[in-house]
């Protein structure tokens, strides 16, 4: 790798380490997911309101990290919000308006898979908004997030940083894998051609929105396994919690009703047992 090669942070790339092996990854992930369950229960019991934002380039690993964060959690208490293209009506609203309805109530945790930061990122680079709208975003976003924090919301923002070589490798992998090919959209291909434009847009976004009260936490995501573990570990460290896990208990005997009879096997339609 040439010494002047840069990633989307615009900095010299960190020295590449050997990627984490599966056994170590799964062992550590299991431990961290237990802690996430404890955090979830703490949020519910203490009626906290938590918002976590995941942003970054396409194929940077946001979706995979969100899956590992949420797979052991209660979907009634932890919601993932991934909004699509705004409707014609939503385009006429105050920009932050459609995100506000998804903010958490007491005891809830909301994870935004992309967020209001679409405006200074995708929308700006792809020409879906004007420069005046971007500048208004930069003026409005810091006080908007300050309002959320003052209202009691715990706001944590992550930016997934991936090198151009690793993004290219992941795109090619998706193209070859029929179970992943749906992840490649025309927008992704266009963004691939606008690497520098996205880098500049991201740098300016950080300039205005990386504040002391609401900082960006940057994730080196070239190794997806390390990135997932690092994000979960960091998340657990920034939201203090205690273990409220219920103690194991003995299952009581089931009450039997001798007057009940199951319907005949042959009267039911079962899924064919092919396997």
Question: Which of 12-16, 58-62, 181-185 shows the highest mean pLDDT?
Answer: 58-62
Q: At what angle do helices 62-70 and 22-45 cross, to 10 degrees?
A: 60
Total-model pTM: 0.88
Best CATH choice for the domain 22-244 from the list 1.20.58.480, 3.40.50.2300, 3.40.50.300, 3.40.1440.10: 3.40.50.300
pLDDT digits (tens, 9 = 90+) for 153-165: 999 999 999 998 9
Average pLDDT of span 67-88: 96
- Model confidence pLDDT, tens digit, residues 210-239: 999 999 999 999 999 999 999 999 999 999
Q: Mean pLDDT for the chain? A: 91
Domain residue spans of the chain: 22-244
From the list 114, 115, 220, the residue with the least C-alpha distance to 161 is 220
Report the share of the chain in percent with pLDDT over 70.
94
CA distance 209 to 138: 7
């Amino acid at each position: 790798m040439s010494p002047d090669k840069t990633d989307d942070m615009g900095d010299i790339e960190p020295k590449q380490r050997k990627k984490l092996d599966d056994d170590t990854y799964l062992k550590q992930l299991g431990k961290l997911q237990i802690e996430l369950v404890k955090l979830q229960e703490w949020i519910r019991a203490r009626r906290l309101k938590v918002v976590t934002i995941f942003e970054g380039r396409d194929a940077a690993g946001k979706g995979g990290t969100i899956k590992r964060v949420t797979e052991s959690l209660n979907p009634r208490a932890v919601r993932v919000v991934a909004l699509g293209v705004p409707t014609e009506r939503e385009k006429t609203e105050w920009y932050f308006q459609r995100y506000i309805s998804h903010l958490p109530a007491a005891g809830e945790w909301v994870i935004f898979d992309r967020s209001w930061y679409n405006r200074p990122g995708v929308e700006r680079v792809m020409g879906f908004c004007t420069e005046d709208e971007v500048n208004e975003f930069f003026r409005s976003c810091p006080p908007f997030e300050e309002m959320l924090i003052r209202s009691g919301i715990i706001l944590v923002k992550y930016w997934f940083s991936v090198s151009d070589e690793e993004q290219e490798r992941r795109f090619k992998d998706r193209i070859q894998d029929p179970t992943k090919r749906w992840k490649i959209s025309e927008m992704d291909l266009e963004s691939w051609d606008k690497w520098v434009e996205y880098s500049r847009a991201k740098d300016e976004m950080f300039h205005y929105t990386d504040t002391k009260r609401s900082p960006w936490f940057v994730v080196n995501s070239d190794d997806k396994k390390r990135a997932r573990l690092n994000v979960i570990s960091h998340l657990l460290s920034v939201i203090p919690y205690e273990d409220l896990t219920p103690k194991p208990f003995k299952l009581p005997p089931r009450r039997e009703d001798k007057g009940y009879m199951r319907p005949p096997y042959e009267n039911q339609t079962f899924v064919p047992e092919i396997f």
